[in-house]
Amino acid sequence: MNTLVGHSPQRTQLSQLAREERLPSALIFSGVHGIGKFAAAQELARQLLCATPNAPQGGCGSCRTCSLYDSNNHPDLHRLTFSGERSATVDDIRIALDNLSLKPFMGGRKVAVLNDADEISIVGANILLKSLEEPRPETFFILIVANPSRLPSTILSRCQRIFFDRLSTEELQTIADQLGLPKIDASAAALADGSAAGLDSLQARAEMHDDVKSVLDRAFNGDTTTIGRAAQEWGAEKSLLRERLAFLRTTIRQKLLESARDRDSAAVWGNALQNALDAEYLILDRHVNPTLCLLKILQGCSRELSATYQSIPNSAPSLGELLLNER
């Protein structure tokens, strides 16, 4: 069994609050995908349900309730995932909440772990809100999200948020060792961007990363032909769009960090990073034309625009404004 890596301060604090019976009934674990938020939620849930008095972090691991937890058969644990092909439906939410309203079958606590909760539908969020507004004693909700802003403010206001930062290179290497993967060099660590998700496919993903980096370099130098081709090709590859957008954001962020002492470059990459973040929302959530969004991002990466970005603070047009002007 692999040991959970990273986030020691958050995990220690949560464990202590659980032992002292001061843990909030509703928590949001936020941070980028693949950094261990779900594993941390599992660790906390196991401790909450453990039958051992004053249970240690992660539970004792030897009592009957821990055994049931490990075999995914604990009657007081409810897991829902709101992404992928088997995403939880509104009926799944209702069933889980009905079960949570009953008395615990074992011990005195019930726990719901809601993975990718920022993908929940509006109807599902409204149903969940009722339970968060009137929480039953000893019932805990742990919502795992990558983008908290996608949750309704009514849910955000009723949960205590715990932020999980990106994993360090050393922590990524520890996880790679657990998985039996090769040593992570500096370029692979930058490609992973602090996330353990996809460590086993970094080599295959490197080609996409190199393509994104090459296009950004050409866009910076004003190569309009490359910009148009890339926007057209990337926008057409629907199955790779989410991953491509993540690489675009990651690569622009790295360029911004590298240009800290160059005001011209920093102005370009700072604006591009904001547009890349906006694009993920507009394309993936609002279903705006991906080719047009990508084209506007790449056009905004030109160093010729740096003087414009610096002339008046916060004057650079947002991606949304650029798209409105296109109409």
User: Is residue 161 classed as helix, strand or coil in its secondary structure?
Assistant: strand
**pLDDT of 191 strictly over 80:** no
Q: Give how many domains the chain has, as a whole number.
A: 2
**Are 111 and 221 within one domain?**
no
The reply to whether 1 falls in a domain is no
Q: Which of the four pLDDT bands, split at 50, 70 and 90, describes residue 3?
A: confident
Q: How far apart are CA 43 and CA 38, in angstroms?
A: 9
The reply to whether 247 falls in a domain is yes
The CATH number for 132's domain is: 3.40.50.300
126 token code pair:
């409204």
**Are 206 and 272 within one domain?**
yes
pLDDT, tens digit, 9 for 90 and up, residues 287-311: 899 999 999 999 999 998 877 766 6
Residue (of 164, 172, 171) closest to 145 by Cα position: 164
pLDDT, tens digit, 9 for 90 and up, residues 100-142: 999 999 878 999 999 999 999 999 999 999 999 988 889 999 9
The reply to whether 102 falls in a domain is yes
Q: What is the mean pLDDT of residues 57-81?
A: 94
Which residues constitute the domain of residue 236? 198-326
The reply to whether 151 falls in a domain is yes
Predicted pLDDT of residue 2: 60
Q: Which residue has the tokens 């240690």?
A: 56
Among residues 137, 163, 189, the one where a domain terminates is: 163
**Are 235 and 298 within one domain?**
yes
**Are 135 and 242 within one domain?**
no
Q: How far apart are CA 88 and CA 263, in angstroms?
A: 47
Q: How far apart are CA 23 and CA 39, in angstroms?
A: 18
The reply to whether 176 falls in a domain is no
User: Is residue 214 classed as helix, strand or coil in its secondary structure?
Assistant: helix
The reply to whether 99 falls in a domain is yes
Q: Which of the four pLDDT bands, split at 50, 70 and 90, describes residue 228?
A: very high
